[in-house]
A and B are shown apart, each in its own frame.
Chain A
Amino acid sequence: MYRSAELRFVLAAAAAAIALLLALLAVAAERTDLLMLDFREWRPVTSGLVEPSRSHVEAYFRNLQSDPPDRRLFRLTLQLESAAGGPGFLAAERELPAVDGARYCFRVLASPAAPGAASGLGIAVHVNGALAWSRPLTPPVRGFAISVPGIRPRRGKVKIRLELRSSGPQRSPASPASPASPAPAVHFEYATLRRCAPGAR
Chain B
Amino acid sequence: MRAGSPVTPGLRRLSAGRRRVWAPAAVLGVLAVALVAAAPSSAVRVAAFLVAAGYAARVLRRQGPLAADRTARAVLFLVTGVGVFLPALIGFFNLMGHTLARLTDPAAPASRGDLLATTLVAAGLVLAARHWPARLGEPAFVALALVSATALKLAYVLLVRVEPVSDFADMWALTSSLAERGLDATRGSLVFLFHRWSYFERVLPYLLPLRLAFGPRPESYSVANVVVGSLASLLVYRMTRSWFGAGAARVALVVSLAAVETVLAAGIPTHDVPGAFYTLIALVLFLAAWRLHSRGRERAALLAGAGFGLAVAVLDLQRTTGSVMLLTVTLLGLAMAAVERGAAGPPAGERHRRLLAALALVFIPWMVFGTADRVLRAAELRVPPALRERAGWRGLAAATDSWGDGSYAYCYENYTAPYGVSKADWRSLALAKLATDLHHHPGARVTSYLRKSEALFDLGSQTYFYLHGAELRGFGPVYREREERILAVSRWFSALFLGALVVAFCRLWTLPEVPLPGLLPLLYLAVFTAILLFLAEVQPRYLYPIWYLGAIYIGALFGPGCPGSSRSS
Q: How far is the CA of A14 from the CA of B331 in the complex (A)?
A: 9
A interface, how many residues as a size bin? 35 or more
How many Cβ-Cβ contacts under 8 Å join chain A to chain B?
A: 115
- Whether A10 pairs with B339 at a CB distance below 8 angstroms is yes
Contact with B along A1-34 (1 / 0, CB 8 A): 1111111111110110000001001101110001
Question: A192 within 8 Å of B by Cβ?
Answer: yes
Chain A residue contacts of B422, Cβ below 8 A: 109, 142-145
Contact with B along A97-124 (1 / 0, CB 8 A): 0000000000101011000000000000
Question: A74 within 8 Å of B by Cβ?
Answer: yes
Chain B residue contacts of A112, Cβ below 8 A: 418
Contact of B72 among A4, A73, A107, A145 (CB under 8 A): A4
A150 shortest CB reach to chain B, Å = 16
Contact of B425 among A9, A26, A73, A145 (CB under 8 A): A145
Contact of B568 among A1, A142, A144 (CB under 8 A): A1
- Whether A25 pairs with B438 at a CB distance below 8 angstroms is yes
Closest residue of chain B to A28, judged by CB? B435
CB-contacts of A38-53 with B (<8 A): 38
Chain A residue contacts of B424, Cβ below 8 A: 107, 109, 144-145
Closest residue of chain B to A32, judged by CB? B435
Q: How far is the CA of A15 from the CA of B339 in the complex (A)?
A: 17
Question: B169 within 8 Å of A by Cβ?
Answer: no
Q: Known interface pairs A8-B71, A142-B420, A145-B424. Does A3 touch B435 (Cβ–Cβ under 8 Å)?
A: no
B488 shortest CB reach to chain A, Å = 31
CB-contacts of B308-347 with A (<8 A): 331, 334-336, 338-341, 343
Question: B370 within 8 Å of A by Cβ?
Answer: no
Question: A36 within 8 Å of B by Cβ?
Answer: yes
- Whether A11 pairs with B434 at a CB distance below 8 angstroms is no
- Whether B339 pairs with A35 at a CB distance below 8 angstroms is no
- Whether B428 pairs with A192 at a CB distance below 8 angstroms is yes
CB-contacts of A154-191 with B (<8 A): 187, 190
- Whether B66 pairs with A2 at a CB distance below 8 angstroms is yes
- Whether B438 pairs with A29 at a CB distance below 8 angstroms is yes
Q: How far is the CA of A85 from the CA of B440 in the complex (A)?
A: 38
- Whether A70 pairs with B72 at a CB distance below 8 angstroms is no
A77 shortest CB reach to chain B, Å = 13
- Whether A34 pairs with B432 at a CB distance below 8 angstroms is yes
16 contacts between A and B (CB under 8 A): A4-B69, A6-B339, A11-B71, A11-B72, A12-B71, A25-B435, A26-B438, A29-B438, A29-B439, A35-B439, A36-B433, A38-B440, A109-B419, A109-B424, A144-B422, A187-B418
B-binding residues in A (CB < 8 A): 1-12, 14-15, 22, 25-26, 28-30, 34-36, 38, 68, 70-71, 73-74, 107, 109, 111-112, 142-145, 147, 187, 190, 192
7 nearest A-B residue pairs (beta carbon): A4-B69, A29-B435, A145-B424, A143-B418, A111-B418, A11-B75, A143-B419
